Structure 1
Amino acid sequence: MANGNNQKLAVLIDADNAQASVIQELLAEVSRYGTATIKRAYGDWTTTNLKGWKEVLHKLAIQPIQQFSYTSGKNSTDASLIIDAMDVLHDNTADGFCLVSSDSDFTRLATRIREEGKVVYGFGERKTPEAFVAACDKFIYTEILRTEPTPAKDAPKAEAVAVADVRTLQPLIIAAIDANAREDGWAALGGVGSHISKINPAFDARNYGFKKLSELVRSLTYLEVKELPLVRPDGVTLSNVQIRIKRVA
């Protein structure tokens, strides 16, 4: 499987259960993990409830997949997305999948894809059921992707997106440090972050009001943080953040 930004990703959108207003930011987030070589949105495009998607589809080169609602509800759309996902999986044309929905119906699809050794990134609102979140390698809540508009003069401030309580992370962070620490108690931040994400796929520093994990850990009074320069063979210096639990004097 390809690594990092070399990954070829299939972005499959449940348009019945996703918001067009955030899709541009969502695709920008996808680019952090790889290249979206397939971009498809599923829904009944003959209905008026998806009219907000039309301009977005053309602008972002997303292919609309028509699925008529033969019965009430959205099961037809779900089935069409799942069938296409399995076709892409068996054609081996993608290294990973981005499933965009807040619907738990895609839980089994996510686990099936992972069984084949492919990575799954989930995107959905905070209301997404825990089963679907846990079935993904990483899950990103779309609320944190919204770009804050510049308010007009004298205009009332927009309501802030709810931020999770960073104090709830303490047991998880301590366990991750213990699992990655050397004999002196220090652990590489990258390893700690990876460990946490394996336990909680929805973990993201942005959920707690921080842009980066390094900013989050520096705000925690029970941690010590140090940064050591790491020089690559080509002479480029990288940031090497180390953390450990504060020792009691």
Structure 2
Amino acid sequence: MAKLQANPGNAVDDQHLKLAVLIDADNANAGVIDGLLAEIAAYGEATVKRIYGDFTAPTSAQWKKVLNRYAIRPVQQFAYTTGKNATDSMLIIDAMDLLYTRRFDGFCLVSSDSDFTGLALRIREEGLLVFGFGEQKTPEAFRNACHKFITTEILKSVARRKPRTDESPAKPNGADAGTKPATAPAGAPAKDDDFPTAFMRAALDQAGDDTGWASLSTFGNYLNKLQPDFDSRLYGFKKLSDLVKAKQEIFELRYRKASGMGRKTMYLRGRKSPPQTTERT
């Protein structure tokens, strides 16, 4: 099975993964569709794209406008009984049918509903990758059941961001009050109070070898194992490599040239003392 690595968008090693994308229209916002599909493309090919919901309801009108444009197959599910979620049941049934075809390398489950926790765990038991996409309100049970969980607030801000023609500070778009700094401009340093220094150090301790050094990809894998919803973009950095370069008060960096390869690989370890600066006279 392909492993997650610490590349832009936390892409996987194999860019040719066949993925089934299943969207819960009742618990997903159509405003993230551009960023969502772009993010999924970094992991592999969306071989199947289906969305589940009652498209006769006014709440699903937002999705009806984008289905044809993005070739997403709608699966109509009427609400037979008040208070019962027939959409969830249909999505789960379809997911299991697709799972047993053995045609996919992984699933992308788009929902903020914890009811899909069991489905994510079942797919993982079959040795397939599970990517979760949901809002920051998504319960931890579903987040942790996925190999990787991406908050859709990030995707919404990326989709709405326009090219800048000046040097003025970028303003986050589409941000909700009280959310994490997910919409901060790429490359902007996170606030010290928000940055998970202890968590990063703990992951690096586990990823490092006997001397404490770990490659960036190995470090990224441990971050995702310990906290599936970790994303460098939550702290204002497009790539994990950008984050560790900006936090040299925490990380010590070194580049090594792998045998038989022309490019160098970034290695890092926890810094025990502040970096020294050389004063010029």
- Asked if 2 retains the 8 angstrom alpha-carbon contact of 1:223 and 1:244, the reply is yes
Mapped pair 1:228 → 2:256: yes
Aligned to 2:181: 163
Relative distance call for 1:213 and 1:149 in structure 2 (3 A) is closer
Mapped pair 1:13 → 2:23: yes
CA distance in 1 between counterparts of 2:163 and 2:41 reads 28
The residue type equivalent to 1:184 in the other structure is: T
Aligned to 1:128: 138
After TM superposition, the score normalised by the length of structure 2 is: 0.80
Aligned to 1:50: 60
Aligned to 1:94: 104
CA distance in 2 between counterparts of 1:35 and 1:95 reads 10
Task: Give 1:153-232 correspondences, 5 Å limit.
Answer: 161=175, 162-163=180-181, 168-220=195-247, 221-230=249-258, 232=260
- Asked if 2 retains the 8 angstrom alpha-carbon contact of 1:180 and 1:191, the reply is yes
Task: Give 1:105-124 correspondences, 5 Å limit.
Answer: 105-124=115-134
The residue type equivalent to 2:239 in the other structure is: K
- Asked if 2 retains the 8 angstrom alpha-carbon contact of 1:229 and 1:240, the reply is yes
Deviations 1:69-114, CA, capped at 9 Å, x for gaps: 1012461000000000000011112111000000001011100110
- Asked if 2 retains the 8 angstrom alpha-carbon contact of 1:177 and 1:187, the reply is yes
| CA apart distance, 1:48 | 1.7
- Asked if 2 retains the 8 angstrom alpha-carbon contact of 1:173 and 1:192, the reply is no
SS, match of residue 172 in structure 1: helix
SS, match of residue 67 in structure 2: helix
| CA apart distance, 1:122 | 0.1
| CA apart distance, 1:28 | 0.8
- Asked if 2 retains the 8 angstrom alpha-carbon contact of 1:16 and 1:74, the reply is no
Relative distance call for 1:217 and 1:158 in structure 2 (3 A) is closer
SS, match of residue 56 in structure 1: coil
Deviations 1:159-183, CA, capped at 9 Å, x for gaps: 5743175654222221222222233
Relative distance call for 1:93 and 1:74 in structure 2 (3 A) is farther
After TM superposition, the score normalised by the length of structure 1 is: 0.89
Gaps of 5+ in 1: none
CA distance in 1 between counterparts of 2:214 and 2:44 reads 27
SS, match of residue 43 in structure 2: coil
- Asked if 1 retains the 8 angstrom alpha-carbon contact of 2:195 and 2:235, the reply is no
- Asked if 2 retains the 8 angstrom alpha-carbon contact of 1:217 and 1:223, the reply is yes
Identity %: 51
Aligned to 2:265: 240
- Asked if 1 retains the 8 angstrom alpha-carbon contact of 2:160 and 2:174, the reply is no
Gaps of 5+ in 2: 3-12, 165-170, 183-190, 275-281
Computed over aligned residues only, the root mean square deviation of the Cα atoms, in angstroms, reads 2.3
Relative distance call for 1:87 and 1:183 in structure 2 (3 A) is same
Deviations 1:24-75, CA, capped at 9 Å, x for gaps: 2101100111100000000011112111111210000000000011012461
Number of residue pairs matched by the alignment: 243
